Chain A
Amino acid sequence: MQKPIIKLRGVCKLFGQFQALYDVSFDVKLGERVVVCGPSGSGKSTMIRCINRLEEHDSGEITVDGIELTEDMENILSVRREVGMVFQQFNLFPHLTVLENLVLAPMRARKLSRTEAEKTAMEYLERVRIPDQASKYPAQLSGGQQQRVAIARSLCMKPKIMLFDEPTSALDPEMIKEVLDVMIELARDGMTMIVVTHEMGFAKTVADTMVFMDHGRIVEVAPPSTFFTSPKSDRTQLFLSQILSH
């Protein structure tokens, strides 16, 4: 049995009075593709934001690649270098060109030289199919292109794990496909991925494991074959019937 690369044990998170995560325990193995779904406010985003410590969990235990997330800043930084993240709103650096967006972290956090960093950056821009946009500023690109730049930016740190926080929710419909295509390719290359998304077609294509969350709890974990055809919990059934009905 392979050891999990991400391990959550009894994780709780409070925002003031609101309990965003309630006793969440969950494992992800190396190379596993996990798709997390659930209604809004169910704690999906909070859960993956805890994995790279954008949110601090209040109790429980999170271990990523053998490193436990604690107050220790060095631990947090080394976890963040292993874990890439793609945001709903892209969060590209608007004052830097695409290429500069990609080389900043490798140069500052991985101490690569500019030539090395630019070489890697161009490779990943090829992979997300926009090498010709390297010298433009983010505002000059379409939403889909921006999100692909954001994916490339994360990949430039050569992470072992990629987190996607609703990567297509802020995109116009015709741009969703180009982003999903890039993600599918990434999944085929064996990247460990946790994706929060409502794109069920994508989930069926790439997911090894489906996770359904509601009210801060993990309600159901199942492979897509059983998840979509015969979900155990009523809550999951209801949710699926609502989003798959049209």
Chain B
Amino acid sequence: MPKVLRKYWRLSQRSRTFATIQYLLFMGILVWTVVHGANQMGYQWQWYNIPDLFVKEFRGEYYVGRLTKGLWVTLQLTFWCVGLTLLVGLITALLRMSNSISGKALATGYLEVVRNTPLLVQLYLFYFVFSPILGIDRFWTGVVCLTFYEGSFVAEIIRSGIQSVDRGQWEAGDAVGLKKGDIYRYIVIPQAIPIMLPPLTGQIINLVKHSAIVSVIAVADLTTEGRNVIADTFMSFEVWFTVAGIYLAITLSLSIFVHWLERRAAFSR
């Protein structure tokens, strides 16, 4: 249960009623502003058309709607990016911590370049320069670009996680004659993962949100499909609310899942 809710239940009966009224009043004003503003503009609400964008029934047969198709592309994008990002992040982190001068220089150079240029510019660079050279399609251009962007943050999360493991653990591993690779694998990484999990989740949630940017290179993700639907139907209010809601659902379920994972890890000890 979120902290706010726990605090809410600890309030006295009177203050709880007061807080509820305060909250509902604020939300009411917010909703009223939107609805009233839309009416003033003469906006025609068509919420009844939204379900068709997920699944459409036509003469007894069901068809996948456009938002569902977009969502599927976003999920695929996220799936590949998460896997590759962890890989790139791990390799970069290990290179940065290695004794090799060239490895360190390579990793540091990559981190500095990627983290100090705008993501949008990187995407254009990948789309207009690298992908024609490498001959990859727009979906994979998006995957590669996002991977390198998020990978730079993940690398730092992994590095700080590994370095937060007590130095004595390394020494104990060394003292019993384990090789460096074994010390990482059996001693350091298992202890670093619980430390890295919360910031990594934050980064994956960022990844889901940042993935919307691939709509500028016309990858048919959730955002692109939303925009296309609006171009056809002019339902901009309903569609953007829905699209935002879907992103929210993905990110919230991710963080709930990781919360559960953390608690389970904590309890098994």
- Which A residues lie at the B interface, using CB under 8 A? 52-54, 77-78, 80-81, 83-85, 87, 89, 91-95, 104-105, 108-109, 137, 139, 153-154, 157
Instruction: Given A104-B186, A109-B179, verify A93-B169 contact (CB < 8 Å).
Output: yes
Name which of B44-52, B123-131, B170-178 contacts chain A.
B170-178
With A91-B169, A108-B186, A109-B182 known to touch, is A85 a contact of B175 (CB < 8 Å)? Answer: yes
The residue in chain B whose Cβ has the minimal distance to the Cβ of A86 is: B175
Interface of chain B, helix or strand or loop or mixed?
Answer: helix
Q: Does B187 contact A (CB under 8 A)?
A: yes
Chain A residues with CB under 8 A of B171 = 54, 87, 91
Q: CB distance B175 to A108 under 8 Å?
A: no
Instruction: Find residues 75-106 in chain B having any chain A CB closer than 8 Å to their own CB.
Output: none
B contacts, CB < 8 Å to A: 166, 168-169, 171-172, 174-179, 182, 186-187, 190-191, 269
Contact: A105 with B176, CB < 8 Å? yes
A154 vs B177: C-alpha distance when bound (angstroms): 10
Known: A54-B175, A83-B175. 19 other contacts (CB 8 A): A52-B175, A78-B177, A80-B175, A85-B175, A87-B171, A87-B172, A91-B172, A92-B172, A93-B169, A95-B190, A104-B176, A104-B178, A104-B186, A105-B176, A105-B177, A108-B179, A108-B182, A109-B179, A157-B177
Instruction: Answer whether A89 and B175 are a contact pair too, CB < 8 Å, given A95-B190, A104-B186.
Output: no
B179 contacts which chain A residues (CB < 8 A)? 77, 108-109
Name which residue of chain B comes closest to A137, CB basis: B269
CB-nearest residue of chain A to B191? A95
Whether A109 and B191, one on each chain, are in contact in the complex, defined by CB atoms closer than 8 angstroms, is no
- By a CB distance below 8 angstroms, the chain B residues around A54 are 171, 174-175
Separation of A91 and B172 alpha carbons in the complex (Å):
6
List chain B residues, Cβ under 8 A from A81.
176-177
A133 CB, min distance to chain B CBs, angstroms = 16
Nearest A residue (CB) for B186:
A104
Which residues from chain A contact B172 at a C-beta distance below 8 Å?
A: 87, 91-93
Give min CB distance, B194 to chain A, whole Å.
Answer: 9
Chain A residues in 8 Å Cβ range of B168? 87, 89, 91
- State how many angstroms separate the Cβ of A106 from the closest Cβ of chain B: 9
Which residue from A77, A89, A95 sits with its C-beta under 8 Å from B177? A77
Residue of A87, A104, A137, A139 contacting most chain B CB atoms (<10 Å): A104
**CA–CA, A91 and B187, complex, Å:** 11
A sample of 27 cross-chain residue pairs with beta-carbon separation below 8 angstroms, ordered by A number, consists of A52-B174, A53-B174, A54-B175, A77-B179, A78-B177, A80-B175, A80-B177, A81-B176, A87-B168, A91-B168, A91-B169, A91-B172, A93-B172, A93-B187, A93-B191, A95-B190, A104-B176, A105-B176, A105-B177, A105-B178, A108-B178, A108-B179, A108-B186, A109-B176, A109-B177, A154-B175, A154-B176
- Pair A84/B178 contact, Cβ less than 8 Å: no
CB neighbours (8 Å) of A92 from chain B are 172
- B178 / chain A contacts, CB cutoff of 8 Å: 104-105, 108-109
B177 cross-chain contacts in A, Cβ below 8 A: 77-78, 80-81, 105, 109, 157
Which residue of chain B has its CB nearest to the CB of A53?
B174
Residues of B within 8 A of A139 (CB): 269
CB distance from B195 to the nearest CB of A (A): 12
* Residues from chain A with Cβ under 8 Å of B174 in the complex: 52-54, 80
Which chain A positions have C-beta within 8 A of B169? 91, 93
Give B168's nearest chain A residue, CB to CB: A91
Contact A84 B187 (CB under 8 A): no
CA distance A92 to B176 in the complex (A): 11
Contact across chains for B175 and A84 when beta carbons are under 8 A apart: yes
Please give me the residue from chain B that is nearest to A105 by CB atom: B176
A92 to B172 alpha-carbon distance, docked (Å) = 7
